[in-house]
Amino acid sequence: MKALEVKKDIYWVGSLDPDLKIFDIVMYTPYGTTYNSYVVKGSEKTALFETVKENTFDQYIERLKSLNVNFDEIAYIVIEHTEPDHAGSVAKLLDYAKNAKIVGSATAIRFLKQIANRPFESIVVKNNDTLSLGNKTLRFIDAPFLHWPDSIYTYIEEDNTLMTCDSFGSHYCFEDMFVDLIPKEKQNEYMDALKYYYDCIMGPFKPYVLKALDKIKDFKIDTICTGHGPILRGNIDFYKDIYRKWSTETAPQDKKARVVIPYVSAYGFTEEIANKIAQGIKSKISDAIIDIYNVIYHKQEEILDKIYWADAVLFGSPTINGDALKPILDILTSMNPLVHGGKISAAFGSFGWSGEAVPNIEARLKSLRMNIITPGLKINFKPSEEDLLKAYKFGESVAIKIKENTNNGVKPSKKSNLKIWKCIVCGEEFESEEAPEVCPACGAGKDQFIEVKREEIKFKQNKKEKYVIVGNGISGYYAADSIRKRNSEAEINIISNDKVLTYYRPQLSDYLNKDILDKNFFVTPEDWYDKNNINVTLGVKVESINKDKKTVTLNNGKELSYDKLILATGASNFIPPLKGFENKGVYVLRDIEDAENIKKEMKNAKNAVIVGGGLLGLEAAWEMKNAGLNVSVVELAPRLLPLQLDEEASPLFEQIVAENGITVYTNDAAEEILGEGSVTGLKLKTGKIIDADLILFSVGIRPNKSLAEKAGISVNRGILVNEKMETNIKDIYACGDSAELNGKIYGNWPAAIEMGKIAGSNAVGEEIIFKDFVNSTVFNAINTELFTAGDIYPNEGNIKTLCSANKENKIYKKLFFKDNKLVGAILLNDTKQSVKIMKAIQNAMTINDVIKDINY
């Protein structure tokens, strides 16, 4: 089949797959499918839209050749969505179209770099950006989550044609390709395919469908070029209206509690249980609407529609052959966490000699992120009167749970049952039903979290201002978050020399000896930036600031204007000017690239030396020791962790370090790195030589202040700021490790978070100051738990301490009081009171109150 003309100089060049029966594992395709790609020829430039699935690439190239496309003249390849069925053959296509630039959303370009696995030139487009092909203008429309966060539409203005990728598509293979040419007797088939495609692909994202429809409502459109299935032409309003109808949710107006109980029952036992549970619910909520479905007698779509609006869903199945029965499992696999997450759920059923159905159902409910009532109800064989009473009581417990989740008859949002947990060590907040087992940011344990109220943002100022944030560390991230919470109209641009999104930098040491999953390593999912309309440019450096013109110039030549500028440029590791530093095997650990290089070196290394006996150096030492290396630590100070431990605690800690096989040299320093080309050892000031084929320097940081200094912003050791994070230049702020406040560089994660929030809030117009900040530290390595907070070296005033030590068990606890107020604490290997102690420091508790309230 040759290329097909859609309109003058617009051609379909996709591929057909009529025999496909299952699409990407997740959808049945009884009518096959198509992979649609389009060529748009302008008077000056040619653009390709989408590509095809890689296994149909040869068919695709033949169609392009049939159109006499000169591959060297293809200027743009527009990727509206990067799923492999649309973008899977980009890498191959670039071998033909060597001059083409990839055009897509910022998210699409990021995704495509991981899909194509090759370098390419790209153009990032935002909402209402245009590209000219000469006599044809491409206007781009943001359409995120249709159905990935990267998706966009393209409107060809002169041709009244809309390119939509997955939207309005279908898995329906039709050789003539135009919907109006489908024979009448086949129209029902097509409509079935259109609805099924919508339900599976667009259904979970109905609010985003409506937003996209609103964006295109004023466009004159007579043709829609889809990514799958027939091209729509003629009655376009019909398809827009039906999408709007399918996406418009009309919530039940009676505000009654709704419960759905789908079940299967082999011998009637599970059915008895289901009915008795329903009675129990009714006893507590008399007007509850309860839909009980024996699944084998009802359509799955009918049950799923009811589940959509349900407050609670209870799944029942007997155990046969060690599992729940297929009809129930089919319902469960048709659900997804985006739509059903947060709903109350439970499992019940009768069983014979095993009983796996209930726990297997619960496992699926957990993966759906539902609010599960556990344990579920398991009854052996035929339920007795006593068993039926248990079922009745189980129903009552479901009703109580529903009432707890309902506020004056108003149904809660999916997240309303989640709590906000704040790590008292680093200040990070997390949303979940229970406190995290471990803080991803600092490693604090579950007992170091406190539940806090959701942040209420009372200050709002929705002005169309432009904010530029330089740096995407944790301070830059929270600055952007604070701006967006207070200004929904602002344009926010984050520019970072980093190549990845914001991650938990304190985890870098852990990364040396293990892989960390993205979801645990990164501060927020990638789609957070799209949902909050925050533009991120990675791998680019800001070269200069023009404070008079209010612009920043990037090292790629681009210039960005701003109304407010926030410098979150972070810090760099201090590198002492030692002979031999250029040798292979010498590292610092500041970012992911550093960690990757160290990990590679560790594979062949035998002896590692860590220069610096602070927290990060010791954490890295422990990971290297666990990887099988011989590890030595060199510390200039007379003892380890001098900022976190006093003179009495340090010897106990150093004993722990030695017992775990790490050699320590204190009161000494690196003088020369030995080796020619590659490291062979480290010479110390005392003349001692330590064998080494890997050396890691962890001897402090220096704020990145040169960008500010060149722009005429006041600097000292860091960028000088006041309590509002304002610099000496109006509308320019600084925060995090690069900022210096009252002569102090905080240089730690909790302070960076707080500074970022304050910088962002003040930039919008709210007035918040940085005050009463209490430093805290958690160390979990070398078989040691350490918590320190506040000032452990108080001077002046009336200084008192409370100390408790058990040297046999390596436990040391000390509280520091100044003028009768608690100001600092050290807890070594007994940190269970850390939450109370942190609060006590923040509240300036007296020594008598501490003795009374804290079991010390």
pLDDT digits (tens, 9 = 90+) for 530-545: 889 999 999 999 999 9
447 and 498 together in one domain: no
Asked if residue 412 belongs to a domain, the reply is no
The pLDDT value recorded for residue 409 is 38
The count of domains in the chain is 6
Of 216, 247, 278, which closes a domain?
A: 247
Contacts of 473 (CB under 8 A, 6+ apart): 498, 502, 505, 568, 570, 736, 737, 752
Is the bond preceding 375 in cis, omega lying within 30 degrees of 0?
yes
Q: How far apart are CA 495 and CA 139, in angstroms?
A: 25
Residue 723 has pLDDT above 60, yes or no: yes
57-66, 93-102, 431-440, 500-509: which has the minimum mean pLDDT? 431-440
Asked if residue 782 belongs to a domain, the reply is no
374 and 439 together in one domain: no
Q: With bands split at pLDDT 50, 70 and 90, how would you rate the model's confidence at 63?
A: confident
687 and 735 together in one domain: no
The pLDDT value recorded for residue 43 is 94
| 323, 327, 329, 333 alpha-carbon torsion, rounded to 10° | 160
Q: How far apart are CA 149 and CA 576, in angstroms?
A: 44
Give, in degrees to the nearest 5, the angle at Cα 555 between 552 and 557. 75
383 and 470 together in one domain: no
75 and 188 together in one domain: yes
Residue 384 has pLDDT above 80, yes or no: yes
pLDDT digits (tens, 9 = 90+) for 662-701: 999 999 999 999 999 999 999 999 999 999 999 999 998 8
Produce one character per residue of 564-584: b if its CB has 16 or more CB atoms within 10 Å, e if not. bbbbbbbbebeeeebebeebe
| Cβ atoms of 737 and 475 closer than 8 Å | yes
Nearest to 48 by CA among 8, 66, 15, 75: 75
| Cβ atoms of 114 and 518 closer than 8 Å | no
- The CA-atom distances, in angstroms, between 163 and each of 140, 175, 212 are 10, 20, 13
Q: How far apart are CA 671 and CA 679, in angstroms?
A: 14
Tracing tokens 């008859």 back to the chain, one arrives at 409
Contacts of 120 (CB under 8 A, 6+ apart): 90, 94, 101, 102, 112
Show the 3-state SS of 117-182: CCCCCEEECCCCCEEECCCCEEEEEECCCCCCCCCEEEEEHHHCEEEEECCCCCCCCCCCCEHHHC
Produce one character per residue of 174-199: b if its CB has 16 or more CB atoms within 10 Å, e if not. beebbbeebeeeeeebbeebbebbbe
423 lies in which domain range? 419-452
Q: With bands split at pLDDT 50, 70 and 90, how would you rate the model's confidence at 406?
A: low
Produce one character per residue of 366-405: b if its CB has 16 or more CB atoms within 10 Å, e if not. eebbbbbbeebbbbeeebeeebbebbbebbbbbbebbeeb
First and final C-alpha spacing in the chain: 82
24 and 149 together in one domain: yes
Asked if residue 162 belongs to a domain, the reply is yes
The pLDDT value recorded for residue 8 is 95
| Cβ atoms of 777 and 791 closer than 8 Å | no
The pLDDT value recorded for residue 407 is 42
719 and 633 together in one domain: no
Contacts of 211 (CB under 8 A, 6+ apart): 143
Coil, strand, or helix at residue 186?
helix
425 and 519 together in one domain: no
Structure-token pair, residue 119: 């370098």
Of 722, 745, 764, which closes a domain?
A: 764
- The CA-atom distances, in angstroms, between 251 and each of 196, 248, 309, 310 are 22, 10, 7, 11
Q: What is the CATH number of the domain that holds 436?
A: 2.20.28.10
Asked if residue 777 belongs to a domain, the reply is no
273 and 396 together in one domain: yes
Q: For the residues 335-354, what does the mean pLDDT come to?
A: 87
Q: What is the CATH number of the domain that holds 634?
A: 3.50.50.60
Q: How far apart are CA 263 and CA 368, in angstroms?
A: 18
| Cβ atoms of 226 and 170 closer than 8 Å | yes
Residue 416 has pLDDT above 60, yes or no: no
Of 681, 699, 717, which closes a domain?
A: 699
- Among positive and negative, which fits the CA dihedral 386, 392, 395, 399? negative
Q: With bands split at pLDDT 50, 70 and 90, how would you rate the model's confidence at 442?
A: low
Produce one character per residue of 312-326: b if its CB has 16 or more CB atoms within 10 Å, e if not. bbbbbbbbbeeebbe
Residue type, 848: N
pLDDT digits (tens, 9 = 90+) for 547-593: 999 999 999 989 999 999 999 999 998 888 899 989 999 999 998 88
Q: With bands split at pLDDT 50, 70 and 90, how would you rate the model's confidence at 413?
A: very low
Element housing 484 (H / E): helix 474-486
Give, in degrees to the nearest 5, the angle at Cα 483 between 481 and 488. 100
158 and 94 together in one domain: yes
Q: What is the CATH number of the domain that holds 367?
A: 3.40.50.360
Q: With bands split at pLDDT 50, 70 and 90, how would you rate the model's confidence at 253?
A: low
Q: What is the CATH number of the domain that holds 202?
A: 3.60.15.10
Compute how many other C-beta atoms are within 10 angstroms of the C-beta atom of residue 517: 7
- Residue 655, sorted as left (phi over 0), alpha (psi -120 to 50) or beta, turns out to be alpha
Asked if residue 224 belongs to a domain, the reply is yes
Residue 163 has pLDDT above 90, yes or no: yes
Nearest to 599 by CA among 614, 589, 610: 589
Bridge partners (DSSP) listed for residue 816:
801, 824
Show the 3-state SS of 388-445: HHHHHHHHHHHHHHHHHCCECCECCCCCCCCEEEEECCCCCEEEECCCCCECCCCCCE
Structure-token pair, residue 592: 């992911």
448 and 393 together in one domain: no
The pLDDT value recorded for residue 856 is 61
What percent of the chain is predicted at pLDDT more than 70? 95
Asked if residue 781 belongs to a domain, the reply is no
Bridge partners (DSSP) listed for residue 683:
672, 689
Mode of pairing for the β-strands spanning 152-156 and 161-165? antiparallel
Produce one character per residue of 632-662: b if its CB has 16 or more CB atoms within 10 Å, e if not. bbbbbbebbbbebbbeebbebbbebbeebeb
325 and 433 together in one domain: no
pLDDT digits (tens, 9 = 90+) for 803-822: 999 988 899 999 999 999 99
Structure-token pair, residue 267: 């011998």
The pLDDT value recorded for residue 414 is 42
Asked if residue 778 belongs to a domain, the reply is no
Residue 87 has pLDDT above 70, yes or no: yes
Nearest to 333 by CA among 349, 355, 351, 315: 315
| Stated pTM of the model | 0.55
Asked if residue 849 belongs to a domain, the reply is yes
